[in-house]
Structure 1
Amino acid sequence: MSYTAILPEHEAIINFLKSRRLSLYVSKPALRHIQEFFIAATAKGYRGKVVDIAEWSSCHRTSIGHFLSDGVWDESYIQRLVKKESLSFVLSHGKHTEQPIFVIHDDTVSKKTKPSSQAKHPIEQTDDHHSHLKGKTVWGHQVQATIVQCGEHSLIHDIHRYDKSSQSKMDDACDLAKSMPIPPHSGYALVDSWYTCPKLINAYAERGYHLIGALKTNRIVYPKGIRVPISTFASYVTKQDVCLVTVNGSAYWVYRYEGALNSIENAVVLLCWSLDAFQNPKALHAFLCTDVSLETQTILDYYSHRWPIEIFFRQTKQNLGFDGYQVRSIRAIERLWILLSFTHLYCTIGLGQPSKFGDGLIMVRKQVKVDYVQWIYESAKNQVPIETVLQHLKLA
């Protein structure tokens, strides 16, 4: 029996893969495994495990495990493809709409169970990493991700494991900054306080991007030439010095400082308190913007565009098995992440029209169900025994 007769063809996914010329870089069996990954990863209940992929495949899980860890296929082509297509889309949209391009960096920890000293085959390259979400050190892989955005469209651009033995997190981010194309109108890098530093500011400035980032309140500013930490300076701010700004439906008291910081000649620093917590030290938040021409409202509105990367981490962990993998080799893990980013790209711009990931995921799930119903219907028309159909669907 032919390969295509074993399980239904999913024309939309196949056309997407063909249009990206994957057949030039991977074999037919590998291409089939990639298609099966798309189907499994977008199905309800997917946990990121090889056995989940096997449920949607004609192959045994050991074959899929071999495909991930030792299979001969060029995953770097898919990685480059995701980067190229995400940038191409947002640059085209930015040129057409004259809206700014946003490049958003962040990292997360994929938590794993720490192996005992007796473990013979632990997951490779795991280590202790600080988790900002949990506020403590956890065992696992630290992953850096980059989202590119224009208007309402947010696309995954890059996702990879951070290897602290090879270079610093900042150097890693600077390397990616240097690969960014010059924005057609304006561009901004959006980062949390970990990445707000002169080195990254300069790397992005060379490519024509400003940086908007959170600041730790122990950073030094120089109002009227006086050297003082932000937290100390903020204690002298009065209600007459601030203005009320509303961002995404929430109101904040905001003080605007423009001047020097340590190693930064000139920038805007915004000191923000929520409406009912003015001068509460624990409620103080600070943000830096290197584009001093922007109004206070615009800076905070732009920084709110950083939220999609948090949504990306949450959605991929809940729906695409981002941290549920159990394969042990680092090559298999990194291949899984590349296929995950490719699947995410398919759900956002691979369905005929751009859509949010959640909407695209629903569309893919529906189409896969339709393909299976159609296949069962055609099997019945061709008088294929029900036992054979059930066997192929792994229900026998």
Structure 2
Amino acid sequence: TIGKIPKKLQRFFKPLKHHFAHNAWEHFWALVMAITISHGTTIDRLTKALRGSTHRTNHGEFLWRTIWDESLIMRNIALDMLRSLRKKKDRQLFFIIDETQTLKRAKIMDAVGTVHLHSTGTYAKGHMILKACLYYRGITIPWGSWLYVKKEHARKLHLPFRKLTELAAEAIATATLPSQFTVTALFDSFYLCPPVVKACKQRKWHYIGVAKANRNFTVGNVSRRLGRYGRNVLHNCGRWHSIKGLRTA
């Protein structure tokens, strides 16, 4: 069971402590440790891994009521890890964007709607979440998450409606990454659109996206079918690049 922060992990947690009140801090590090070790997904299972833990409802209250900037904390962790991994000769950093679906069984929950599950090809009730991560020297580092709220739900919750592509563009525009890196954004065909491309250009980032062969591509004011044009470009001036290794941190 978990009773305190191990010495080897104190460097990881120490920079985050000032973001929390004392009681909230005890809940935070304990739950993070429990999630990492037990791979549990419910408060009841997580608290069983904690030594001398308070009742599970107290941990639930922490997640529900305590005010703390989880996005800022995640970015701080990512930047700290990035700095520890940095080597002068390795300047290439990838910023990866994609969406995921989380199923929800609760009948009453904000912003729950019908989502398409890519893994099964079926529809179900849940949340759509935009995810961003960093990829550097073979290691994947979580960067941020943004909940997609449909227009009808945004109106009820008094929130501004933003499309998934607009959330992706905002994620790129607001990413505070060290200037020592050369950043390339990676995304699929859904995000290869004017808002995301514009955000990449404003940041002076390279970007790599997947586009369907039937899409049109304008070159020199001439519209061309991407499938045919792309094959010729790759044949004439394409270059192979490899990204070695894949580990999650």
TM bracket (short chain): 0.7 to 0.9
User: What residue number does 2:184 align with?
Assistant: 188
Match of 2:72 among 51, 76, 80: 80
The counterpart of 2:199, out of the listed 199, 203, 222, is: 203
Which residue identity is paired with 1:162? Y
| TM-score, normalised relative to structure 2 | 0.79
8 Å Cα contact 2:34-2:46 kept in structure 1? yes
The secondary structure found in structure 1 opposite 2:125 is strand
Aligned to 2:30: 36
Aligned position for 1:133: 119
Cα distance in structure 1, aligned partners of 2:222 and 2:30: 62
**Moved segments of 4+, more than 6 Å:** 223-226
Would you say the 8 A contact 1:25–1:73 is kept in 2?
Answer: no
Paired residues for 1:364-375 under 5 Å? none
Q: Distance in 1 between matches of 2:147 and 2:47?
A: 25
Q: What is the CA deviation profile of residues 8-65 of structure 1, one whole-angstrom value per residue up to 9, with x for unaligned ones?
A: 323337724652141x332332222112212321234x33111112212322222222
From the CA coordinates, give the structure whose radius of gyration is larger.
1
In structure 2, C-alpha distance between the alignment counterparts of 1:27 and 1:185, rounded to whole Å: 34
Distance 2:181 2:29 in 1: 37
Residue pairs, 1:269-280, within 5 angstroms: none
Shift of 1:194: 0.6
Identical counterparts, % of pairs? 18
Q: 2:4 and 2:84 mapped to 1: Cα distance?
A: 32
CA contact 1:102–1:190 (8 Å) conserved in 2: yes
Post-superposition CA distance 1:213-264 (Å, at most 9, x none): 1102221136897644335x38xxxxxxxxxxxxxxxxxxx9342xxxxxxx
Kept after mapping to 2: 8 A contact 1:110/1:140: yes
Displacement of 1:86: 1.9
Q: Does 2:170 correspond to 1:157?
A: no
Which whole-Å CA distance do the structure 2 matches of 1:224 and 1:38 have between them?
Answer: 53
* Aligned length, in residue pairs: 237
Q: Which residue of 1 aligns with 2:128?
A: 142
Whole-angstrom CA distance in 1 between matches of 2:226 and 2:173: 30
What does residue 169 of structure 1 align with? 164
* 1:48 aligned partner, one-letter code: T
Q: Compute the TM-score of the two structures, normalised by the length of structure 1.
A: 0.52
Q: How does 1:1-396 map to 2 (within 5 A)?
A: 8-12=3-7, 15-16=10-11, 19-22=14-17, 24-44=18-38, 46-57=39-50, 58-70=53-65, 72-74=66-68, 76=69, 78-87=70-79, 89-90=81-82, 96-113=88-105, 115=107, 122-165=108-151, 166-180=161-175, 181=177, 183-184=179-180, 186-221=182-217, 227-231=223-227, 233=228, 255-257=231-233, 295-298=238-241, 301=242, 356-357=247-248
Residues 256 and 123 of structure 1, relative CA distance in 2, 3 Å threshold:
same
Question: 2 CA distance for matches of 1:187 and 1:222?
Answer: 25
Q: Is the 8 A contact 2:111 2:150 kept in 1?
A: no
* Aligned CA distance change for structure 1 residues 295 and 56 (closer, same or farther; 3 Å): same
Long gaps (5+) in structure 1: 1-5, 116-121, 235-253, 258-269, 272-293, 309-355, 361-396
Aligned equivalents of 2:212, 2:116: Cα separation in 1: 17
- How far apart are residue 110 of structure 1 and its match? 0.6
Superposition deviation, residue 138 in structure 1: 2.5
Q: Distance in 1 between matches of 2:196 and 2:2?
A: 49
Gaps of 5+ in 2: 152-160
2:41 counterpart letter in structure 1:
G
SS in 1 for 2:189: coil
